[in-house]
């Protein structure tokens, strides 16, 4: 008795998934041609040959569509970082970070509009929901994981200043790193967590500087200069990258 009802449901699910895939593809095309601020559900519906009222049954608003694209981009760069870290895991934390940074740069150069959507100027009036957080944390997970690995292996040797980490990071950061109570985190581990934004900001900053044309007539070889930037910032955190 159940098969006649479940089979059509599965067919409807497949049809919905296919339409959502087409919808996101059309939205990505508009993102590339017009930018995130100009993204319009009506324009996406027109590309798909649908009435705008029909599209609203799948995506309730422009902001909901932006959220889907943002999650997709965060997941994509997170997957790139995780794959690169896994492939280079026998190279040690420092060289693994260089491999991750290079992989993220390649992704950004190949998908500049996705990079700009998540790491560029925020879309005015758009407030990212909590739905975006798990995907956004994937790259951070790689960064924190590599720093903790280096610390545990005794190869983290920061050149930056010693400091009291109290009050510098939110409790959520420590929970993410495995400590539910910030008061129980050893000082040196807290310093590791507090230095993690250095790797993130240097990575995003180096890519943004190149992607948005600020190295024009500065970098003879952008890829080689990128490596120096990543290695220099990593050295301050305590990861000694070899560029030989």
Class of the CATH-defined domain 70-237:
mainly alpha
Compute the distance between CA of residue 92 and CA of residue 191 in angstroms, rounded to an integer.
Answer: 20
- What percentage of residues in the chain have a pLDDT greater than 90? 57
Tell me what pLDDT residue 1 has. Answer: 45
Q: What is the mean pLDDT of the chain?
A: 89
Mean pLDDT, rounded, for 17-21: 80
* Residue range 104-157, pLDDT digits in tens: 999 999 999 999 999 998 888 889 999 999 999 999 999 999 999 999 999 999
Compute the distance between CA of residue 36 and CA of residue 28 in angstroms, rounded to an integer.
Answer: 9
Torsions phi, psi for 217 (to 5 deg): 65, 20
Confidence of residue 24 (pLDDT cuts 50, 70, 90): confident
Q: Enter the tokens of residue 238.
A: 């305590």
Domain spanning 1-60: CATH 2.40.128: no
Extents of the domains making up the chain: 1-60, 70-237
| Helix residue ranges per DSSP H, the chain | 3-34, 41-48, 52-55, 62-87, 93-110, 112-119, 133-153, 171-176, 187-211, 222-237
pTM of the full structure: 0.88
């Amino acid at each position: 008795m159940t098969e006649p009802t479940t089979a059509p449901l599965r067919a409807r699910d497949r049809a919905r998934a296919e339409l959502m895939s087409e919808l996101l593809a059309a939205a990505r095309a508009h993102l590339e041609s017009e930018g995130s601020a100009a993204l319009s559900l009506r324009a996406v519906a027109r590309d798909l040959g649908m009435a705008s009222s029909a599209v609203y049954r799948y995506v309730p608003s422009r902001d909901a569509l932006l959220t889907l694209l943002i999650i997709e981009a965060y997941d994509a760069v997170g997957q790139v970082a995780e794959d690169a870290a896994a492939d280079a895991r026998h190279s040690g934390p420092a060289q693994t970070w260089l491999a991750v940074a290079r992989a993220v740069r390649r992704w950004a150069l190949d998908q500049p509009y996705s990079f700009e959507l998540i790491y560029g100027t925020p879309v005015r009036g758009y407030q990212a929901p909590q739905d975006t957080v798990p995907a956004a944390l994937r790259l951070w997970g790689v960064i924190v994981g590599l720093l903790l690995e280096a610390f545990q292996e005794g190869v983290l040797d920061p050149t930056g200043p010693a400091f009291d980490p109290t009050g510098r990071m939110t409790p959520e950061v420590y929970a993410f790193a495995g400590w539910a109570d910030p008061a129980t985190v050893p000082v040196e581990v807290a310093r590791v967590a507090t230095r993690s934004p250095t790797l993130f900001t240097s990575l995003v900053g180096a890519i943004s500087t190149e992607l948005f044309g600020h190295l024009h007539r500065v970098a003879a070889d952008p890829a080689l200069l990128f490596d120096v930037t990543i290695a220099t910032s990593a050295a301050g955190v305590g990861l000694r990258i070899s560029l030989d």
